[in-house]
Amino acid sequence: MKCHEIAESSDEFLDDKLQAMQRQKIQQHLASCTVCSATLAEHNEYRKQLSQFSVPEPAAGYYALLLRQARVNGEQQKQRHVARRYRLQGFAAAAVLACGILAAFNLGQSGLPSDASAEQFAQQTELVSEEITVLINVPADMLGARLALEFPEELIPHGIEHGQQLAWQLDLKKGANAITLPVLTSGSFAHGKKMLVSAQIEYNNKSKLFQLPVEFFSPHKARYDLVPRHRAHATYFI
Amino acid sequence: MNNIISLFSRANKTQPFEHLVAPHVSGLYKQAYQYMGNASDADDLLQDVLLELFNKQEQMSQADNLPAWLNRCLFHRFVDRCRSRKRAPECDNIDDINVSDDRRNMEPEQYCLNRQIIAGLQNLNPIQRAVVSLHDIGGFSLPELADIVDMPLGTLKSHLHRARKQLKKNLQLQPFDGQARQSV
């Protein structure tokens, strides 16, 4: 028998779980090998020390209290989960973030008169074609959902002759859905002006209306750097 | 046929959470204590695990070897916690270990022995700590251990060998025998 075999069988040997023949072989080896004898003695001492380890007993009733707490917390967690599921049921939850990416601003020009109509605005100012990206984050597939967007008068949906509303049916997939729309705008309003886009999602005979803040970015900032930065904190759950 | 009936009856029978876990909660606490090294952290870890178990009652009631299954949950939660801390709590000095709350519940000799062993365990990485703790203190067999930590037997033996070597070294470096301390 070789030394590494002794090491592998040391636990069984000390626990007296080996067959007589095997045990006798080990004993013969130990009688002639001082290294294995010392190693086995060390291992025996190690086991003895660990067997004396004891975890201090907690106060009486501690385990019952832990179990009760786990039950109470677990039931509360389930109730919250169920309540949330019911709240979302029917049309599924939608989270919408509108990120208007307007690359060219003329910061020095004056704002648009508040009573100007979209047509007047388009006629009186030099319009620039830009894109607005709407991010819709839904927890489940919403096939055939109807999305309606109503833009402020400063933003004119490209291709819509009259009115500021745009509505169409689309398939929203679970997770983030990015919808990029062309818009016409002017640099005549001040940078940083707060604007809202109204959005309505209809799905499964239910609907939800949102007011979406539009965020503008300075021209020198790259788009890919901006969109993810605003995704997280401007998410709205139904 | 008997197997089918027993499976059917087991599937329909749901035992209360406390009834299932209560016989094993003491063992889980002791294991959590060995993992974390003090009562406060063991309490936190165990609360997390019990909440997880409450949400897994169906799986729990179907476990063939419930102690091993519960310890697997505890082990995974312990590893998650170590990962969330980026690095396992290590201890270079046994005086840094927060076991003062346990002092009043123990004899001085026992307290000293515990400190030495906990210091040795805390200097192991989480996997080694779990393996040596479950096998050499908890008494789980190697096949049970392979199931708990989800590792092949060969890998497990390597971890156990390295953990024991390190722990033996630590214990020899810090003798806890009363006579040895008095002679210093």
| A11 in B contact zone (CB under 8 Å) | no
Tell me the three-class secondary structure of B152-173, residue by residue: CHHHHHHHHHHHHHHHHHHHHH
Tokens, residue A193: 């002006």
CA torsion A27-A33-A39-A42 (nearest 10°) is: 70
DSSP assignment, residue B48? H
Instruction: Report chain A residues whose CB lies below 8 A from the CB of B33.
Output: 55-56
Instruction: Report chain A residues whose CB lies below 8 A from the CB of B142.
Output: none
Q: What residues contact residue B10 under an 8 Å CB cut-off, 6+ apart? A: B61, B62
| A77 in B contact zone (CB under 8 Å) | yes
Instruction: Report chain A residues whose CB lies below 8 A from the CB of B177.
Output: none
Highest mean pLDDT among A82-86, A121-125, B15-19: B15-19
B91-147 pLDDT, tens digit each: 445 455 454 556 666 777 788 888 889 999 998 999 999 999 999 999 898 889 999
Which of A56, A71, A78 is the closest to B39 by Cβ? A56
Distance of residue B7 Cα from the nearest chain A Cα, in angstroms = 27
Residue of B nearest to A64 (CA): B22
Burial of residue B67 (CB within 10 Å: 0-12, 13-18, 19+) is: middle
Domains identified in chain A and CATH numbers: 3-51 (no CATH), 95-231 (2.60.40.10)
Asked if the model's pLDDT at residue A185 lies above 50, the reply is yes
First to last CA, chain A: 72
Interface of B with A in 40-59 (CB under 8 A): 43, 46-47, 50-51, 53-55
| B168 in A contact zone (CB under 8 Å) | yes
- What's the whole-number mean pLDDT along residues B24-46? 92
Print burial letters for B69-88: b (CB count within 10 Å at least 16), e (below 16): bbbbbbbebbbebbeeeeeb
Domains of chain B, residue spans: 2-183
Q: Which of B159, B95, B110 is nearest to B130 (CA)?
A: B159
Query: To 10 degrees, what angle do helices A34-51 and B153-173 make?
Result: 80
B35-to-A98, A215, B126 alpha-carbon distances in Å: 48, 49, 8
Contact flag A53-B105 (C-beta cutoff 8 Å): no
Contact flag B18-A68 (C-beta cutoff 8 Å): yes
Contact flag A49-B113 (C-beta cutoff 8 Å): yes
What pLDDT is stored for residue A112 in this prediction?
38
Contact flag A53-B113 (C-beta cutoff 8 Å): yes
Asked if the model's pLDDT at residue B179 lies above 90, the reply is no
Task: Determine what percent of chain A is predicted with pLDDT higher than 70.
Answer: 62
| A79 in B contact zone (CB under 8 Å) | no
User: A234, A97 in Cβ contact below 8 A?
Assistant: yes
How sure is the predictor about A186, in pLDDT bands with cuts at 50, 70 and 90? low
What pLDDT is stored for residue B16 in this prediction?
80
Its CATH architecture, for the domain B2-183, is Up-down Bundle (1.20)
What pLDDT is stored for residue B108 in this prediction?
79
What pLDDT is stored for residue B20 in this prediction?
87
Q: Left if phi > 0, otherwise alpha if psi is -120 to 50, otherwise beta: which for A126? A: beta
Distance of residue B55 Cα from the nearest chain A Cα, in angstroms = 7
User: B166, B124 in Cβ contact below 8 A?
Assistant: yes
Q: Which of B103, B98, B24, B15 is nearest to B61 (CA)?
A: B15
Distance CA A91, CA A233 (A): 23
- Looking at every residue in chain B, the average pLDDT score rounds to 79
| B29 in A contact zone (CB under 8 Å) | yes
Residue of A nearest to B106 (CA): A56
What pLDDT is stored for residue B14 in this prediction?
46
How sure is the predictor about A160, in pLDDT bands with cuts at 50, 70 and 90? low
What pLDDT is stored for residue A114 in this prediction?
41
Q: Between β-strands A128-138 and A142-150, what pairing exists: parallel, antiparallel or unpaired?
A: unpaired
B137-159 pLDDT, tens digit each: 998 988 899 999 999 999 999 99
Q: Which of B148, B23, B127 is nearest to B79 (CA)?
A: B127
A103-127 pLDDT, tens digit each: 333 333 333 334 444 455 444 455 6
User: A104, A126 in Cβ contact below 8 A?
Assistant: no
User: A214, A100 in Cβ contact below 8 A?
Assistant: yes
Asked if the model's pLDDT at residue A24 lies above 60, the reply is yes
